[in-house]
C-alpha cells in the first residue's frame, strides 16, 4: 500500500520564489568596454618629521633686528651694547640651528651670518662711541679752572677740598693763594696781611661821612695784596671776599669809605700788584675766631684765619 506524501509534511523542501529582474533602462549609456580597471587601493604613507628650523629662523630675526637698530640708534652712547648682546644671542641660536639634527640648515646659516655681521658692526659702533664719550669727558674735565692753591711760606701747599685752606683747616696771614682762570691758567695771587679786628676808630677817622657801626657791631679791616698773573688786564673786584664770623655767618664788605678800597683799584696789567684794604661791619661777638673767605668768580673759596 503506497502512501501519498502530502504537501507541507515533513520531507518537503520549500523553494523561495525568485524575484523578478529589474527592468532594463533603455536610455542608460552602454558600459565602456575599454575602461581601465580600477587601481588597487593603497594606505596613505605616514608624514615624516618636520625639517623646519625654528632656532635658525629666530636667529635670522634677532640678527636682523640687531643689525637694523644697531646701525641706526646704536650710535647713542651705551645703547649700542644692548644690540651687541642681541646679535650675540642671534649667533648662538644660529649655531644651535646649524648643529641640530634632521632640520634644514639654510635658515640657520643665514641667521648666523646676519647675526655675526650685526655683532661686528654693533661692537665697533659701541666701542667707538665709548671712546668718544670718554674723550669728551676727559676734555671737559681738563677744561675749566683748577682748584685754588694755597702755599705756606714754610713750604706747605694744599688745595681746597677739606684739606689745607679749607674752612676746617684755614691758612694763615702771609700764605700765598693762587687762582686760575676759566682755562686753568694762573690768573691771581692773593696774600692776606695782619688784620685790625677793632678798626672802628680808623674807619671813622678816614671819612667824616662814614656811619657809626650799628650797636653791638664793629668795623674790621683786612689788608690784602693782589697780583695779576694773566695775559691781558685784570680787575681786582672780580675777586670775591667775605668775613666768616665765629657765629658761622657771612658778612660782605662794608660801604664805608676807606683808603685802598677794592672798588677804587685800577685794572692791573700782567705782573702788577695792588694793596687793598677790606672793611667789614661785624657783630663784636663774632669777630674773635673769624676768617676771611677769598675766591675768584671761577673757583671755590680759600679760608684764612684772622687771629
The residues, any chain, with a CB within 8 Å of residue 3's CB and separated by 6 or more, are: none
Sheet holding 250-251, edge to edge: 250-251, 240-244, 291-295, 302-305
- Tell me, what's the pLDDT at 148? 87
**pLDDT, tens digit (0-9, with 9 covering 90-100), for 191-213:** 999 999 999 999 999 999 999 99
* Integer Cα distance of 302 and 281 in angstroms: 21
Write down all domains in the chain, each with its CATH number in brackets: 54-142 (no CATH), 149-305 (2.60.40.1240)
- pLDDT given at position 2: 47
Q: What average pLDDT does this structure show over 54-63?
A: 86
Share of the chain above pLDDT 70, in %: 77
pLDDT digits (tens, 9 = 90+) for 212-239: 999 999 999 999 999 999 999 999 988 9
Pull the grid cell for residue 240: 670775591
pLDDT at 16 over 50: yes
**Cα separations (Å) of 172 from 161, 225, 292?**
17, 14, 10
| Confidence band for 87, pLDDT divided at 50, 70 and 90 | confident
Mean pLDDT of the chain: 83
pLDDT over 50 at 185, yes or no:
yes
pLDDT at site 158: 47
Is 0.95 surpassed by the pTM of this model?
no
Query: pLDDT at position 183, please?
Result: 84
Amino acid at each position: 500500500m503506497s502512501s501519498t506524501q502530502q504537501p507541507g509534511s515533513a520531507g518537503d523542501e520549500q523553494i523561495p520564489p525568485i524575484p523578478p529582474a529589474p527592468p532594463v533602462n533603455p536610455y542608460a549609456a552602454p558600459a565602456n568596454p575599454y575602461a581601465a580597471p580600477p587601481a588597487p587601493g593603497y594606505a596613505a604613507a605616514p608624514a615624516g618629521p618636520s625639517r623646519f628650523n625654528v632656532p635658525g629662523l629666530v636667529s635670522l630675526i634677532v640678527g636682523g633686528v640687531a643689525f637694523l637698530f644697531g646701525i641706526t640708534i646704536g650710535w647713542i652712547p651705551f645703547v649700542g651694547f644692548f644690540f651687541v648682546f642681541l646679535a650675540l644671542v642671534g649667533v648662538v641660536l644660529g649655531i644651535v640651528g646649524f648643529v641640530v639634527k634632521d632640520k634644514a640648515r639654510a635658515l640657520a646659516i643665514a641667521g648666523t651670518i646676519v647675526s655675526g655681521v650685526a655683532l661686528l658692526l654693533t661692537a665697533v659702533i659701541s666701542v667707538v662711541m665709548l671712546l668718544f664719550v670718554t674723550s669728551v669727558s676727559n676734555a671737559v674735565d681738563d677744561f675749566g679752572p683748577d682748584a685754588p692753591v694755597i702755599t705756606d711760606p714754610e713750604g706747605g701747599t694744599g688745595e681746597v677740598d677739606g684739606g689745607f685752606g679749607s674752612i676746617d683747616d684755614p691758612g694763615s696771614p702771609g700764605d700765598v693763594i693762587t687762582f686760575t682762570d676759566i682755562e686753568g691758567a694762573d690768573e691771581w695771587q692773593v696774600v692776606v696781611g695782619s688784620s685790625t679786628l677793632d678798626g672802628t676808630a680808623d674807619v671813622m677817622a678816614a671819612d667824616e661821612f662814614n656811619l657809626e657801626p650799628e650797636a653791638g657791631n664793629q668795623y674790621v679791616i683786612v689788608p690784602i695784596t693782589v697780583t695779576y698773573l694773566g695775559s691781558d688786564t685784570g680787575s681786582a673786584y672780580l675777586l670775591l671776599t667775605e668775613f666768616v664770623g665765629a657765629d658761622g655767618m657771612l658778612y660782605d664788605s662794608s660801604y664805608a669809605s676807606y683808603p685802598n678800597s677794592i672798588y677804587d683799584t685800577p685794572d692791573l696789567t700782567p705782573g702788577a700788584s695792588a694793596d687793598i684794604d677790606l672793611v667789614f661791619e661785624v657783630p663784636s661777638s663774632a669777630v674773635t675766631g673769624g676768617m676771611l673767605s677769598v675766591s675768584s668768580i671761577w673757583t671755590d673759596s680759600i679760608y684764612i684765619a684772622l687771629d
